[in-house]
Structure 1
Amino acid sequence: MSNKMAPEEAERLEARINDLECQLAFQEDTIEALNQALSQQQQTISRMQDQMKFMAGKLKNVSESPLADSSQETPPPHY
């Protein structure tokens, strides 16, 4: 029994290793791109949450304003 591999078998295994290394490199690039996209989306969501809090505060102040009280408004001219 010989431990030597046939040249064709060695070439086939080397080709498989090369394919796996290419797949791994592609997956690493894809994971990095997805990580960057996720990070950008999280920043956008955080910014939007801050804007929503700001707008909710503004809306609350408007609804508490006497200008927003419909009982104090005069009816439109067509009434």
Structure 2
Amino acid sequence: MANNEITLSAHSINANYVQRLEERVDDLESRNVFQDDVIDQLSEELAAHQHEISELKHQIQLVANRIKDVGSLSSDNENDNIEPPPPHY
């Protein structure tokens, strides 16, 4: 009878151990799914930010080109408004 009790006790311990392992695996799988979801969200946000940065760089380049054009036009107008020096110079 003692042998049967030891076997049942060992079986009970083994079943408890297996149950705890299953719970831990389930917890890890849960975390893994959650982390995959967060990674996907962050990846989408990163792609959106990269697109926005690209658009902003393009807009800055357009503004810089317009400033150059206005600067060159105003310098041409300044040259037109400057009187030539008198002939005795």
Q: Which segments of 5 or more consecutive residues in structure 1 lack a partner in the other structure? A: 73-79
Shift >2 Å, 4+ stretches: 66-69
| CA apart distance, 1:26 | 0.6
Q: Is 1:47 aligned to 2:55, yes or no?
A: yes
The two structures have a TM-score, normalised by structure 2, of 0.69
Calculate the aligned-residue CA RMSD, in Å.
1.8
The two structures have a TM-score, normalised by structure 1, of 0.77
Give the whole-Å Cα distance in 2 for the aligned partners of 1:22 and 1:59: 55
The within-5 A match list for 1:23-62 is 23-62=31-70
Identity rate, percent: 30
Q: If you compute each CA radius of gyration, which structure gives the higher value, 1 or 2?
A: 2
Higher relative contact order (CA 8 A, sep 6+): 1
Give the whole-Å Cα distance in 2 for the aligned partners of 1:37 and 1:59: 33
Match of 1:75 in 2: none
Give the whole-Å Cα distance in 2 for the aligned partners of 1:11 and 1:62: 76
Count how many residue pairs are aligned between Structure 1 and Structure 2: 67
